[in-house]
Structure 1
Amino acid sequence: MAAVEPAVEYADVLVVGGGPVGLVTAYQLARNLPTSAHRIRIIEKHPKSSQDQYGRAITLFPRSSEMLDQLGLAEELAQQCFACRHTVNYDKDGKEFPGRGWSFMEQMKDTKWDFALVLRQKYQEEIFKSALRKEGVELEAPWDLKGIEVIEGAGTGGYKVLAGIENVETRVKKVVKCKYLIGADGGRSFVRRAMNVPFDGSSSEDKWVRVDGVIETDLPKPRTYCAIESPTHGNVLWAALDHGATRIGYAFTAERQKAYKEFNEEAAVKEAIASVKPFSLKFKQVDWWTIYVVGQRIARSFFVKDCVFLAGDACHTHSSGAAQGMNTGMHDTVNLGWKLSLVLQGLAKPDLLSTYEAERLPNVQKLINYDKDISRLMTMQLPENWKGDPDADPNEILGTVMAEAATFSSGLGIFYEPDTYLNLLQGSGLSSVQPGQRAPDVSLQKPATFEPTRLQAETPNIARFYIVLFVGDIALTKPALAAFTKSVANSQWLFDSKYPISWISIFDGPGGPSAYETLGGMPFGRVFYDEDHSAHERYGVSAQGGAVFVLRPDGWVGTVVEMGARAEEKLKRYFGRFLRVDGKARL
């Protein structure tokens, strides 16, 4: 009897992996692309058990929360999370030792999301799946990716990828032909291995244990992000979780391992109790536990054959020492999502996709470098290549390293290097916020109603750029604004609805009864007022000069130009590098 050929199905994008990174990637594409013209699919191999779902990643830092807020996802996370704003560090005798451990978390300012959003992966995934479902896409599980073939010569925009998939339960086989495939399938990524992408780095001999559950304790400040400097279990993590639970994490040293022929849940709990001494600990309920080997690895490429991407743990793995795993994955998916959306719509040139790796790889390398030091110090070892005092206290050095990495860990200081493409320098002295840096969230006031709002709330990530005019004091900047208006007046492309561009005008000072009368004409786009001058001050824009910012869809600054006669020329220079309409360069 002849073998039955697998059914062939089509999709614009196949996302492999149903964790947070895969779900948010699929959500962005489904949200940004018209469903009548594009099909997004996402598959997951494992029908996850409750134990798997409860554990894993727990913490989103401010920049990740900001990015999810601009995607319309963070509010639901905040409904269920434990919002952690307080930290404490205890020495081996149980005395508070300020300035060490997680103390940097109390300095995470300049954002509405000025806390660690702690919500276990199980609950995050439920929120992301629900949001994805509302966009018409259902997570398909359990489907296993069995093979990938890239068709050479398929041409730009063609179905370049043949993905063989199999239902784990029914053994039904299918072939999905897609334009792009995204591997968000974890540290043992099949996609990465199938594409022969080297995974550089190493695993150490260090083992760590994590235990989640409901506890009783005499620790004085249990509902915090806490570090305990244990002489036997390294720098112990104590993290207050959602739904009243707590996570205990500790180093399982070679010396402690000798006591166990088999390491099971009972042993994990026993060691957790020992790790937090001199404090008492009792588990009323254990939700989840794991033991794993600490290591750092990074894929040599994040984008292969112009059609296959890697994101999240599939292209970088590290310890949980700095709690950056899911955060780094969120930075990956948000960077990739809008770029792929614009290319699929024919609004951007395919070259734009190469900037995903160019921007993310250096930041992942920074994380790996930090993590190597942090993970060793948390295991009471000095960093490799340490040139300081060989008898230095690892806890003291850890405090210094964590403080140095603070803005990177919070995400608020992560930036992309200025270049000649997406982060374009076109003048100096216009502002203190430069291309490639995060666009700070600032308080604004709506016209007429004077309702308060925020810049990030008014610039959602829907794969559109925002041209933001900081108009300054209109009484002083009218000549510059008039020159700007004249400059862009005949530039139809700047206002063509085919282009993914929106306009915003921010006036320095309190609002009047009519934006038209304040300006003496129609303003550019939506109008907001900087009542207390704080927005202009935060961006370093003078009330006398103003400035024009281009904000990328993902909330980073693309370029800054003066509000004057050459503005149209410089905006065209910026957008002309990557935008197109109807498949033709039109700028």
Structure 2
Amino acid sequence: MRSVNKQVRRVDVLIVGGGPVGLLTAFQLAKFGHSRSIAIIEKHPKSSQDQYGRAITLYPRSSEILDQLGLADELAQECFACRNTVSYDKAGKVVAGRGWYFMENMKDTQWDFALVLRQKYQEEIFRRSLRELGVDLETPVELIQAHVDESVPQGGYKITAVTKNGITGEEETIMCKYLVGADGGRSFVRRTLDIPFDGSTTEDKWVRIDGIIETNMPKPRVYGSIESPTHGNVLWAALDHGATRIGFAFTAERQNAYPEFNEAAAVAEAIESVKPFSLQVKQVDWFTIYSVGQRVARKFFTKDCVILAGDASHTHSSGAAQGMNTGIHDASNLGWKLSMVLDGLTPPSLLDTYESERLPNVQKLINYDKDISRLMTMQLPIGWKGGKNADPNEILGNVMEKASTFTSGLSIAFDLNVLNVKGSFESSSKPAPVSPGQRGPDVQLQKPGTREGTRLHKEAPNNARFHVVVFAGEPDYTSTSLKSFSDSLEGSKVFSNARLPISWLTIPAKSAPSAFELLGIMPFGKVFYDEKQTAHNRYGVDIKRGGVMVLRPDGWVGTSTGLTDGAVVELEVYFKSVLLINS
């Protein structure tokens, strides 16, 4: 006889899935003030899920996102920071410019390396950080029913969910305004809402094995590849805590040699895959065999209340090591938007931009992944128009180089929409190095007084607030414009609203003992010096004219204006279209 808890719990948001995407979504909502109105559940006991394997690599933009949430420093304490790569041909000779070589050229960021830390350790940090904000992961708790009452208006308790405790068997009814499915590729949320999962799964099998090894490979503590004639383009990745991951294609021919694929088989194949190098596996932490599938959910946001993120909304191979990165980008895009909607600061329609911004980038990744996963199994891309005898390893190097800035996340951008609006800003360089919808670059700055170094991302964290950055240029040239901007801002009814989720920063292109005396006016918010003018140059701001950049909470540029008489009006128009403002 099943146990049923008849008491109904009400929360604003129910998050299903206790992996990195669910944890980061919950962490943001809790950090932004919603710790008492959210719940996060995971059907597997975390002790059984805390294996060493699965995702391992964070690329620079993902690290930047976590840095702006205050999580990256702790990850960096435990990680293997990978800045070096190597590729070997089938004879064990180094081949330049192939495989993961692009990792050595990830510039324009403080996080100019691959942050390698197994998912087990990342999740431990995320869970602890979430618990410190007053939210516990409820596990083992499984979602077994979810119904949407479409007669209830958006923002009401549209969803009735039923959960089941995996230990006691007790069922609980939870009513919520929003349901976030971060429950993996076999997502119950996606399936129970009948959201199609378009795409296909190949017959190719891949193996991943982690552990402590000994080898005669000349450069073992790097991200590397071995161009094996029997196992495809073999992944060799130095991991945290002295471990190593080996990954390879597992052909049908080789599969036939094993009645059962167990740890011994994984070890035997790993040894074969890295030839001509020797390999001794001292300890196996984790291994898996899996098929590659590229699939995308038809909708990421449906019925005005159900949201899919991470593998629940898209799956692909691990060929480009993008799984966790893509999920982090989903969570980052969603967290602040959902928080602002719950706070009544923005219209609910803002959530539509989650799908419109993330879906094109997911599709772009999958298009790359289709080619990468085939090339890693020594197959030419579908529709290949080159020679039939082309070397897949050489083509793979070209594809990964072409995709490098997208893979690093630093070039991921969004189309113009209500959040990304082309303004009146005219760059001092053509084309402008930074435009609305693009990532706001991290730049070095100096604090007043102490002159100690800091970075824009540190001073413009993701706290569910927009950051208006006034590049004041050289005040000898811009003083009149700054005074006019200041006067207009003082007289603005919009910006007199203290409830607006907006912070201000002022960045002059020189330093002085007193920011007030330097500018001739009170600074807008905090002031930071750009004495070497690297920040102005990176954002394309003429030091004789200045400019204003609006950074979204997630660090992408929302709009940009000139430092002119009409700048405040332009900013008012932008924020009135995004925020619910009474003026």
Q: TM-score range by the shorter chain?
A: over 0.9
**1:406-445 alignment runs, 5 A limit:** 406-419=404-417, 421-427=418-424, 429-430=426-427, 431-445=432-446
Conserved 8 A contact 1:7-1:173: no
1:52 CA displacement: 5.1
1:573 CA displacement: 1.5
Q: Distance in 1 between matches of 2:361 and 2:239?
A: 28
For structure 1, the 5+ residue unaligned runs are none
**1:4-403 alignment runs, 5 A limit:** 6-35=6-35, 38-49=36-47, 53-403=51-401
Conserved 8 A contact 1:351-1:578: no
**Cα offsets for 1:363-407 (capped at 9, x unmatched):** 000000000000000000000111111110000000000000000
1:256 CA displacement: 0.9
Q: Distance in 1 between matches of 2:48 and 2:40?
A: 21
Q: Distance in 2 between matches of 1:513 and 1:544?
A: 21
Which amino acid in the other structure matches residue 202 of structure 1?
Answer: S
Q: Distance in 2 between matches of 1:448 and 1:190?
A: 55
Q: Distance in 1 between matches of 2:496 and 2:211?
A: 55
**Alignment-derived partner of residue 453 in structure 1:** 454
Which amino acid in the other structure matches residue 85 of structure 2?
Answer: T
**Cα offsets for 1:306-337 (capped at 9, x unmatched):** 10100000000000000000000000000000
Q: Distance in 2 between matches of 1:479 and 1:135?
A: 46
Q: Distance in 2 between matches of 1:400 and 1:254?
A: 28
**Alignment-derived partner of residue 582 in structure 2:** 586
Q: Distance in 2 between matches of 1:284 and 1:238?
A: 16
SS state at 2:138 partner: coil
SS state at 1:347 partner: coil
Conserved 8 A contact 1:52-1:288: no
1:34 CA displacement: 4.9
1:480 CA displacement: 1.7
Q: Distance in 1 between matches of 2:23 and 2:4?
A: 32
Conserved 8 A contact 2:479-2:520: no
**Cα offsets for 1:162-197 (capped at 9, x unmatched):** 110000111100001011110000000000001110
Q: Distance in 1 between matches of 2:282 and 2:4?
A: 53
Q: Distance in 2 between matches of 1:298 and 1:351?
A: 22
1:562 CA displacement: 0.7
SS state at 1:65 partner: helix
1:487 CA displacement: 2.4
Q: Distance in 2 between matches of 1:3 and 1:191?
A: 23
**Cα offsets for 1:282-321 (capped at 9, x unmatched):** 1100000000001100001000101010000000000000
**Alignment-derived partner of residue 497 in structure 1:** 498
Length-normalised TM-score, structure 1: 0.97
1:530 CA displacement: 0.2
Q: Distance in 2 between matches of 1:4 and 1:352?
A: 37
**Alignment-derived partner of residue 487 in structure 1:** 488
Identify if the C-alpha distance between structure 1 residues 502 and 388 changes in structure 2 by more than 3 Å, giving closer, same or farther: same
Q: Distance in 1 between matches of 2:470 and 2:426?
A: 16
Q: Distance in 1 between matches of 2:54 and 2:139?
A: 19
Task: Between 149-158 and 251-260, report the one with greater CA deviation.
Answer: 149-158
Which amino acid in the other structure matches residue 11 of structure 1?
Answer: V
1:521 CA displacement: 2.0
**Alignment-derived partner of residue 558 in structure 1:** 558
Task: Between 143-152 and 322-331, report the one with greater CA deviation.
Answer: 143-152
Aligned residues: 579
**Cα offsets for 1:206-249 (capped at 9, x unmatched):** 00000000000000000000000000000000000000000000
**Cα offsets for 1:33-91 (capped at 9, x unmatched):** 254xx411100000134575211000000000000000000000001000000000000
1:432 CA displacement: 2.5
Conserved 8 A contact 1:495-1:501: no
Identify if the C-alpha distance between structure 1 residues 274 and 52 changes in structure 2 by more than 3 Å, giving closer, same or farther: farther
**Alignment-derived partner of residue 474 in structure 1:** 475
Q: Distance in 2 between matches of 1:26 and 1:458?
A: 23
SS state at 2:577 partner: coil
Conserved 8 A contact 1:550-1:558: yes
Which amino acid in the other structure matches residue 556 of structure 1?
Answer: W
Conserved 8 A contact 1:504-1:526: yes
SS state at 1:177 partner: strand
Conserved 8 A contact 2:5-2:170: no
Identify if the C-alpha distance between structure 1 residues 34 and 230 changes in structure 2 by more than 3 Å, giving closer, same or farther: closer
**Alignment-derived partner of residue 465 in structure 2:** 464
Which amino acid in the other structure matches residue 461 of structure 2?
Answer: P
1:153 CA displacement: 2.3
Which amino acid in the other structure matches residue 499 of structure 1?
Answer: L
Q: Distance in 2 between matches of 1:514 and 1:304?
A: 53
Conserved 8 A contact 1:76-1:127: yes
Conserved 8 A contact 1:476-1:544: yes
**Cα offsets for 1:401-422 (capped at 9, x unmatched):** 0000000000011111123x11
1:494 CA displacement: 1.7
Conserved 8 A contact 2:420-2:559: yes
Identify if the C-alpha distance between structure 1 residues 264 and 102 changes in structure 2 by more than 3 Å, giving closer, same or farther: same
Conserved 8 A contact 1:18-1:43: yes
Runs of 4 or more, structure 1, over 4 Å off, are 1-5, 49-52
What is the alpha-carbon root mean square deviation over aligned residues?
Answer: 1.3
1:258 CA displacement: 1.6
Identify if the C-alpha distance between structure 1 residues 506 and 136 changes in structure 2 by more than 3 Å, giving closer, same or farther: same
Q: Distance in 2 between matches of 1:9 and 1:462?
A: 28
Conserved 8 A contact 2:490-2:496: no
1:97 CA displacement: 0.1
Which amino acid in the other structure matches residue 422 of structure 1?
Answer: L
SS state at 1:146 partner: strand
SS state at 2:451 partner: coil
Identity of aligned residues (%): 65
1:346 CA displacement: 0.6
Length-normalised TM-score, structure 2: 0.98
Which amino acid in the other structure matches residue 211 of structure 1?
Answer: I
**1:533-552 alignment runs, 5 A limit:** 533-552=533-552
SS state at 2:362 partner: helix
Task: Between 259-268 and 357-366, report the one with greater CA deviation.
Answer: 259-268
**Alignment-derived partner of residue 570 in structure 2:** 570
Conserved 8 A contact 2:154-2:304: no
Which amino acid in the other structure matches residue 137 of structure 2?
Answer: L
1:496 CA displacement: 2.5
Q: Distance in 2 between matches of 1:402 and 1:52?
A: 31
Which amino acid in the other structure matches residue 352 of structure 2?
Answer: S
Q: Distance in 2 between matches of 1:74 and 1:565?
A: 40
For structure 2, the 5+ residue unaligned runs are none
SS state at 2:467 partner: strand
**Cα offsets for 1:458-486 (capped at 9, x unmatched):** 01101000000001000011122222223
SS state at 2:219 partner: coil
Identify if the C-alpha distance between structure 1 residues 2 and 446 changes in structure 2 by more than 3 Å, giving closer, same or farther: closer
Q: Distance in 2 between matches of 1:223 and 1:305?
A: 48
1:4 CA displacement: 5.2
Q: Distance in 2 between matches of 1:454 and 1:428?
A: 23
Which amino acid in the other structure matches residue 363 of structure 1?
Answer: N
SS state at 1:575 partner: helix
Q: Distance in 1 between matches of 2:81 and 2:525?
A: 36
SS state at 1:54 partner: coil
